[in-house]
Amino acid sequence: MHGDGCGVRIIRISRGLFKCTTMNKVFDADLAAARNILMTATSNNTSMTSITPSPERDRGNGSETRPRAKPPREEGCSPNLPTPTRGGGLRKLYMASEEEILAGRVTDVYFARTKEVLEKSGKANTRAYAEIHAYGLPKGYDWAIAAGINEVAALFEGRDVDIYAVEEGELFRVYEPVMAIDGRYIEYGIYESSLLGILRHATSIATKAARLKIAANGKMLIFFGIRSIHPAIAPMADVYALIGGCDAVSNILGAELAGVKPVGTMPHALILLFGSQPDAWKAFDRVMPPDVPRIALCDTLSDERFEALMAAETLGERLYGVRFDTPGSRRGSMRKIVEEARWALDLAGYKHVKIFVSGGLDEEQVRELADIADGFGVGTSIAFPPSIDLAMDIVEVDGKPFSKKGKLPGRKQVYRCGRLHDTITPFNVRLDKCPLCGDSVEPLLKPLVKGGRIVRERMKPIEIREKVLKRLEQIMKIEEFRKEPFFYVP
């Protein structure tokens, strides 16, 4: 019988789900069992209340479905936000759900406190215009690629705010706002942590991928980095690595969300479990479908040159390429290893065999190998890139320019010409020509959300990637790239 004890037998409808024929409700056995355990453990606690699992919610670890006591509101928690559970609850993985993010639960406590103070002080209707920008970039960076724009739009869908933003995948410089939010501060203030988390991480990944794509000089670049980050955010990293310029990603789910096929070779585990390189390579060739390229891992048990030749002799014309993932402790000069293997393969008549390199690569190593290697697998340097420190700052309060020190007050627009000259102007200034070269210009900040409604069509990651690649081609053709925008106030 179910928790309310009506006496009627229940029907099992699927694994863990049961239906009461009297109440016409579906019950989650796991959650009901957890509730009974908690009730037993706290039988002397009169504050524990009964709970009936909600049939409207999925089976899972969402905080709203957990049996729990009704404690007093925790210090610093806004009464408008759900009260958190203590000690991690029943959650198996330390990750926020999509619902919790959209509800504003992933926020710094001072934003919740600010919201409460404003509401209780008669300031709930105070409007503020905030801009998201970077007043500095990592060492050696002159530009960055804006990413995460579409996710931020989803974050504010249904909220009474207006948002202006650059296009997803657009290049920007220091000082240039990539996004601006207009509305009552209490409508968006608690989302600052999530907003910046999305934009910063996505932008940092996309920018690093773009820089590596330039370093690869047209050679194939595959993102192999999900093992270096929490699996909860692995698909995010895949999508933004692809947007930034990577040709492919290895993660199955990430590739699915990006609308592409996952790409990979084989792990050292396959070689070790077979105990023989040729046996592993032949088994891979026998089992994998024809559309999977035969790329043999050639650094597991012996010298890269000899394993590459062994793979070529084993698979012949079916061998597409070899991959060297040599550990740093055995590497020496990777360039010399690749040169030696290339020479040996060519000399033996295997010029068709391509050479891919992976393992701890960054821009410098990729640039050094770009003329002799055919492709690269890059992981950690993209997954853990230098941070593009985007910040959100109020620049106008109730229609009047106002900002903290060190930030430029007032709404701003960015105009760009075909030569990638950028000009920052007050938002209401209309600029037709570039002050530097006279070419026509267009504004970069355009409507994204109006009154909580997303007004911009969402492009596919692969389409955004194509735009980024065209922008990278422009950058490489510019002899002197201006590091900072031009400021213009008429």
Q: 264-378 has which CATH code?
A: 3.20.20.70
- Identify the DSSP state of 456: S
The upper half-sphere exposure of residue 478, i.e. CA atoms within 13 Å in the direction of its Cβ, equals 14
Distance of CA 272 to the CA centre of its chain: 33
pLDDT at 87: 53
pLDDT at 242: 98
Spell out the domain ranges in the chain: 1-70, 125-257+382-490, 264-378
pLDDT at 332: 78
DSSP string, 137-171: --TT-S-EE---HHHHHHHTTTSSEEEEEPPTT-E
Specify the amino acid at residue 261. K
CA gap 137, 135 in Å, rounded: 7
pTM metric for this prediction? 0.82
The upper half-sphere exposure of residue 115, i.e. CA atoms within 13 Å in the direction of its Cβ, equals 22
Please state whether beta strands 321-324 and 10-14 pair in parallel, antiparallel, or not at all (unpaired).
Answer: unpaired
- Identify the DSSP state of 405: T
CA torsion through residues 402, 403, 405, 409, sign: negative
pLDDT along the chain (490 residues), means of 10: 48 52 54 44 40 38 38 44 55 93 96 97 98 97 98 97 98 98 98 98 98 97 96 97 98 96 96 97 97 96 96 98 85 91 98 96 96 97 97 98 97 97 97 95 98 96 97 93 95
E strand or H helix that includes residue 127: strand 127-133
Q: Which CATH class is domain 125-257+382-490?
A: alpha beta
pLDDT at 37: 38
- Tokens at 158, concatenated: 């249904």
Backbone torsions φ then ψ of 37, nearest 5 degrees: -65, -45
What contacts 124, CB < 8 A, 6 or more positions away? Answer: 118, 184, 186
| CA separation, residue 18 to residues 2, 15, 29, 58, 301 (Å) | 9, 8, 7, 13, 54
Give me the helices (H) in 250-327, please: 252-258, 268-274, 277-287, 304-315
DSSP string, 200-255: HHHHHHHHHHHHHHHHHTTSEEEE-GGGGS-GGGHHHHHHHHHHHT-SEE--HHHH
pLDDT at 21: 54
| CA separation, residue 440 to residues 368, 475, 479 (Å) | 39, 19, 20
